[in-house]
Chain A
Amino acid sequence: DIQLTQSPSSLSASLGDRVTITCQAGQDVNIYLNWYQQRPGKAPKLLIYDASDLATGVPSRFSGSGSGTDFTFTINSLQPEDIGTYYCQQYDSLPPTFGGGTKVEVK
């Protein structure tokens, strides 16, 4: 199984800050990587697919980049509704696997 390592595991930032999360894959996954947001008590929600494409209806302050083994997820100006946990997920090979998550809190 392909292991995905996210860092940091948690972060605290001020409203309006730029937030960056990284996801490192244990082997090359091309661009086959997605990012999900999970608000407290809710189901995950797709934000970014194929490493950098914004899902329908997702605000443009969210972005993703990378390919191969190193990926970055950015929130350009942190908003109160962005609080939650963010996960990367690869689908280059079966089984699909998820990163351990990054919990984002407001300072």
Chain B
Amino acid sequence: EVQLVESGGGLIQPGGSLRLSCAASGFTVSSSYMTWVRQTPGKGLEWVSFIYSGGNTNYADSVKGRFTISRDNSQNTLFLQMNSLRVEDTAVYYCARGVNTLDLWGQGTLVTVSS
């Protein structure tokens, strides 16, 4: 079955770090464009970062310098390393296949940044 399964979310204090994982099955992450999107009740859906199959990456201005997208080809897994977390990073984080058109989404993982 072709699917994405996120993990790693949780409650973290402001300034802390968290690493999200997105395990893929049924296709190869390293051959695909992959994206992280987050969703909050207030700001809706917001693109966070993507990685091309060749390895080039891009980030939203709001997370640039704090978040890093990467992948582990042996585990067929996408990651999002989140450092210097802020209250406004609180959201459900989704990984998705694609960059322009997101044709497969994971179920999401909730990140809550609060003291």
Is residue B87 contacting chain A, with contact meaning CB distance below 8 A? Answer: no
- Are A43 and B103 within 8 A (Cβ)? no
Per-position binary interface string of chain A over residues 3-41, scored 1 when its CB falls under 8 Å from any chain B CB and 0 otherwise: 000000000000000000000000000001010100000
Report the stretch among B24-32, B68-76, B94-102 that lies at the interface. Answer: B94-102
Q: Are A55 and B58 in contact (CB under 8 A)?
A: no
A45 to B45, CA, bound (A): 13
Interface status of B44 (Cβ within 8 A of chain A): yes
Assembly CA distance A27 to B102 (angstroms): 22
B106 within 8 A of A: yes
Residues of A within 8 A of B106 (CB): 43
Q: A43-B106, A43-B107, A43-B108 are in contact. Are A98 and B101 (CB under 8 A)?
A: no
Q: What is the 8 Å Cβ interface bit string for chain A, positions 30-68, against chain B (1 contact, 0 not)?
A: 001010100000111110011000011000000000000
Report B39 CB to chain A, min CB distance, Å: 8
Give Cα distance in the complex from A97 to B108, angstroms: 19
- The answer to whether A44 and B102 have CB atoms under 8 Å apart is yes
**B37: min CB distance to chain A, Å:** 8
The answer, among A32, A87, A101, for a CB contact under 8 Å with B100, is A32
* Alpha-carbon gap, A45 to B99, bound state (A): 14
How far is B100's CA from A99's CA once the two chains are assembled, in angstroms?
Answer: 15
Mask: chain A, 62-76; 1 = CB below 8 Å from B; 0 = not:
000000000000000
C-alpha gap A33/B45 in the complex (Å): 15
Name A97's contact: one of B47, B61, B99, B101 (CB within 8 Å): B47
**CB closest chain-B residue, reference A97:** B47
How many angstroms from the CA of A36 to the CA of B100 in the assembled complex?
Answer: 13
Interfacial residues, chain A to chain B (CB-CB below 8 A): 32, 34, 36, 42-46, 49-50, 55-56, 87, 89, 91, 94-101
Q: Which 7 A-B pairs have the closest CB atoms?
A: A91-B100, A98-B45, A43-B105, A49-B101, A96-B47, A46-B103, A95-B47
